[in-house]
């Protein structure tokens, strides 16, 4: 899987379970295991936000006992909080439900799913149902990578909740509407297609310089 943003590229090999993180602006990159990338991201978040706490239950659950103890000590030392108690207090009555509402986005018929908290709609996800299966995608192959990507992106903590991931795996989100305060953001995908890419699409450009992940993410400790 490959995700490209304005200044970053994420490459993931689902067979070897390795991730390559590229900084286009600095022409630098790092490659290694997903767990090492997650550890570095957590250090960055703790460095920049002393109130940070791990909300990713699945990530913690998959750690071995030594890594779990290390993360507990590291986060407790920086925040004084127990990382095994997820801070979902702002999502006390979090729920995701499908609706009978259908519409069209581009060439696709989509169904509306609502993300709510205490009855208030926080997000609408318009999904082309079962399209991923038709395209031959199995999102379980990319679960570790997506968790790492969501953690690094700093997006809403409920993105990694099992109920949310199940909805996203049900099909391809063609339109997402996010409500926050008095504003809303609309993200629309006009078209989706399956195209065989060459191996070069996932290769690391030769002009890039290899850097340790700590340096690439700007960690000072």
DSSP codes, 105-128: ETTEEEEEEEEEETTEEEEEEEEE
Going by C-alpha positions, the residue among 16, 14, 11, 9 that lies closest to residue 137 is: 14
pTM summary value = 0.62
How would residue 220 be classed by pLDDT, with cut points 50, 70 and 90?
Answer: very low
How would residue 86 be classed by pLDDT, with cut points 50, 70 and 90?
Answer: very low
Number of residues written out for the chain: 221
DSSP secondary structure string for all residues of 174-190:
EEEEEEETTEEEEEE--
| The pLDDT of residue 188 is above 50 | yes
Tell me the domain boundaries of the chain. Answer: 91-190
Cα 152 to the center of its chain, rounded Å: 7
């Amino acid at each position: 899987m490959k995700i490209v943003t304005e200044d970053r590229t994420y490459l993931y090999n689902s067979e070897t379970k390795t991730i390559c993180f590229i900084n286009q602006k600095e022409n630098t990159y790092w490659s290694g295991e997903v767990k090492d990338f997650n550890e570095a991201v957590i250090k960055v978040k703790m460095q920049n936000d002393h109130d940070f706490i791990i909300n990713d239950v699945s990530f913690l659950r998959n750690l071995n006992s030594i890594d779990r103890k290390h993360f507990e000590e590291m986060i407790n030392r920086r925040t004084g909080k127990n990382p095994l108690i997820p801070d979902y207090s702002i999502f006390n009555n979090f729920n995701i439900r499908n609706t009978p509402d259908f519409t069209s986005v581009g060439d696709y018929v989509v169904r509306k799913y609502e993300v709510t908290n205490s009855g208030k709609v926080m997000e609408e996800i318009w999904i082309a149902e079962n399209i991923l299966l038709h395209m031959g995608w199995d999102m379980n192959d990319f679960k570790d990578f997506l968790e790492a990507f969501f953690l690094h992106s700093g997006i809403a903590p409920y993105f990694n909740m099992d109920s949310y991931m199940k909805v996203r795996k049900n099909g391809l989100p063609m339109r997402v509407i996010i409500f926050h305060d008095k504003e809303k953001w609309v993200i629309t995908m006009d078209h989706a297609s399956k195209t065989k890419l060459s191996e070069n699409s996932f290769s690391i450009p030769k002009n890039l310089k290899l850097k340790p992940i700590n340096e690439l993410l700007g960690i000072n400790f």
